[in-house]
Amino acid sequence: MRNSWLGLSLGVLTSILSGCGKKSPEGETLTQDEVPYCANKTEFSRVAGTSGTGLVFDLNPQVSANDPSLLPTSPKIENLAAPVKLERLLGYGILNGEFVDVRNGLCEKSSIGAFSEENNFSYPHSDPRFPEVMSYYYGDQYRKVTQDAGVLLPEDPVIVLANCPIEDNAFFTRDLNDDGTFRNIVCLGGSSIFSSQKATFADDAHVVIHELQHAQSTYSYSPKLGINRLIYDEGGALNEAISDVVGLMNTYERNSSAFDVKRFSVWGLGSLFGTDGDFSRGAHRCPTYDPTYPRCTNYKSDSSGFSTETNTVSFNYPDGMGWPYAGFYSGARAVRNAFVENKSHQQIHQSSIVMTGALYEVFEIFVKSRSDVSTVREFMMKVISRSLQRLPKPNKVISVSPITFPGFFMEVVSAADFYGASSGELTEVKRIGEERGLYDAPQLGPNWANVIGMRFEEISGSAKYDGKLNPGDVGRVWFNIQNVDSLTAGGVLVDFKVPDGSAIEVISEEMNDGFVSDQQAMIRYGKVNGTAIVSALNSTDVSRSLPLKNDYFGTYTTQDGNAAYQDSGIFIKVKKGASPGPQSAQLRLVPANGPEVILPITIEVIAE
């Protein structure tokens, strides 16, 4: 029997791992003469058995070396990997199996790289086939767990492209084929800083599992609809949190005592960006720059768990949303600097931390009560899959972005019950939810919101780029929502609508992910501070204080203006020849932790 492995052509690439990708896909494709490590053919016969051998890191180079301070420049890395048994191969002498189909981005048309008639895939780290073996081994092991749990999706093998031609990033993409089916691809790129050391994201098993879990999560939610709808929505953050926690659960037994089992990707995200940053994440209740980390003894479920004076941050909902987990912050101004220097406050990989920690603690509840980690892992895979499946789907009437963290946690409680959690275990799961502010949490009062301003940023149109809406202007608009409640509003859906005949029009779907019609669009704001967190972060010590406010602009704005919320604008235009004067519009605001508020607003169209 023969089979064909044709090359891939990657379409539009959406990066979802680090959010720090600096360059768009480029990467040269070499001709096959120059790349002896490529199989140099697309037709393969069955020549080998279904098991083989390969060399892989034990999770990552640091764990393999039992050295938490090992750097990507260490010459030790070349020969650190240890032999493992590769299983479930299909027998073609290539890294193609029941669960994953590995390709090499350095080979022509991203075709097959490693080939061995004996299924012997033992290469040193610098060999371009090494990341293929890491991808196969960890991808296969993780997908087997998911199959054993009875929830594997998609059922077909996922293509994993090692040496994917993208720098400083990794992602999963579900591409629509011409015939209406999907092609599922995980892309594992390389480090730009450590390219001469051949460092790629496949060197970190967490990253391999994280990306494959995106495939699992996406299909669990819906065979067709994506989880991520709007740039800063909690669906996107949830997607990241689940991928991180599944990575941690699947490497639970691999860590030696020198390593923290709750740290996610200390190698890929923590080390491969060098001095550009430590983007690693984790499941502890406070960030690495909190002096009580990792015990997090100052953790509180509400705004009292924050202080710029004691450098306390608590990963609770909603105030803990958007704080970096790690980074090079230390000293008396650590918390202030973490906020000011890291502008990704609403970014989904940063907002994910609260849910990652909560889900990890749920996992720990069952590990404690049931003792056998592998059955608990399968139980958790079932709970997560069912919870995702039951989440609301987008619609243009209620919400184009209906997933919220509290809504998901409610499904976790219900799914744990469905799969037979005892009443004692369920009580503990609910307690975790309450302590993280995700379950049975305090809610905002009925009239929590006002609109106290707006910002308009022109892209094209009139000659005057003056922040005013002139006839013919095209640009983005943000509304400054003020929250008069003491509690912070989490995940605020902003539903903007203008009446028939308005001089203002919403621009197309290509510009607005939350497009409903030319009179309506939705967007999500990460959170809007309540008055309590504002007081908690302000300090009489001016050098440490974060003078934030209880409105959307004042939740994220620091010294440099609007950098932190620039992507959450709605794209609109003012009709050419419109008469100047007030235009009425409406904002419907739907927080994840309180009642919706409908506010009429007026927007002035100014003559040029």
Residue bearing tokens 């909560």: 358
Name the one range near Zn ion by CB under 5 A: 13-21, 107-115, 431-439, 598-606: 13-21
Residue 20 near residue 168 (C-beta atoms within 8 A): yes
Beta bridge partners of 53: 85, 120
Minimum CB separation from Zn ion for residue 17, in Å?
5
Minimum CB separation from Zn ion for residue 271, in Å?
18
Name the one range near Zn ion by CB under 5 A: 14-22, 160-168, 197-205, 247-255: 14-22
Minimum CB separation from Zn ion for residue 402, in Å?
20
Minimum CB separation from Zn ion for residue 191, in Å?
17
Residue closer to Zn ion, measured from CB, 116 or 243:
243
Residue closer to Zn ion, measured from CB, 16 or 578:
16
Residue closer to Zn ion, measured from CB, 52 or 322:
322
Residues 6+ apart with CB under 8 A from 342: 324, 327, 350
Residue closer to Zn ion, measured from CB, 243 or 502:
243
Minimum CB separation from Zn ion for residue 217, in Å?
9
Residue type, 407: G
Contact with Zn ion (CB under 5 A) among 13, 16, 70, 388: 16
Binding of Zn ion by 187 (CB under 5 A): no
Minimum CB separation from Zn ion for residue 392, in Å?
22
Name the one range near Zn ion by CB under 5 A: 12-20, 76-84, 89-97, 98-106: 12-20
Residue closer to Zn ion, measured from CB, 55 or 187:
187
| Binding characters for Zn ion, 219-258, by CB under 5 A (x = yes) | ---------------------x--x---------------
Binding of Zn ion by 215 (CB under 5 A): no
Minimum CB separation from Zn ion for residue 513, in Å?
18
Minimum CB separation from Zn ion for residue 204, in Å?
13
Residues 6+ apart with CB under 8 A from 375: none
For residue 143, give both structure tokens: 């997908």
| Binding characters for Zn ion, 304-333, by CB under 5 A (x = yes) | ------------------------------
Residue closer to Zn ion, measured from CB, 243 or 404:
243
Distance CA 129, CA 267 (A): 19
Residue closer to Zn ion, measured from CB, 240 or 425:
240
Distance CA 178, CA 331 (A): 55
What are the angstrom distances between the C-alpha of 376 and each of 249, 405, 416, 420, 493? 9, 23, 11, 12, 35
Residues 6+ apart with CB under 8 A from 77: 61, 65, 70, 125, 197
Residues 6+ apart with CB under 8 A from 541: 308, 309
Residue closer to Zn ion, measured from CB, 16 or 592:
16
Binding of Zn ion by 188 (CB under 5 A): no
Residue type, 39: A
Residue closer to Zn ion, measured from CB, 347 or 539:
347
Strand order in the sheet with 597-605: 515-517, 520-528, 489-497, 581-590, 597-605
Q: What is the DSSP string of 223-289?
A: SS--S--STT-HHHHHHHHHHHHHHHHHTTTT--TTS-TTEE-TTTTTTTTGGG----EE-SSS-TT
Q: Which residues of 378-407 are buried (b: 16+ CB within 10 A; e: fewer)?
A: bbbbbbbbbbbebbeebeeeebbbbbbbbb
Minimum CB separation from Zn ion for residue 352, in Å?
8
Beta strands, E only, 382-428: none
Three state DSSP letters for 54-109: EEECCCCHHHHHCCCCCCCCCHHHHHCCEEEEECCECCCCECEECCEEEEECCCHH
Residue closer to Zn ion, measured from CB, 204 or 319:
204
Minimum CB separation from Zn ion for residue 603, in Å?
37
- Residues near Zn ion (CB under 5 A) are 16, 240, 243
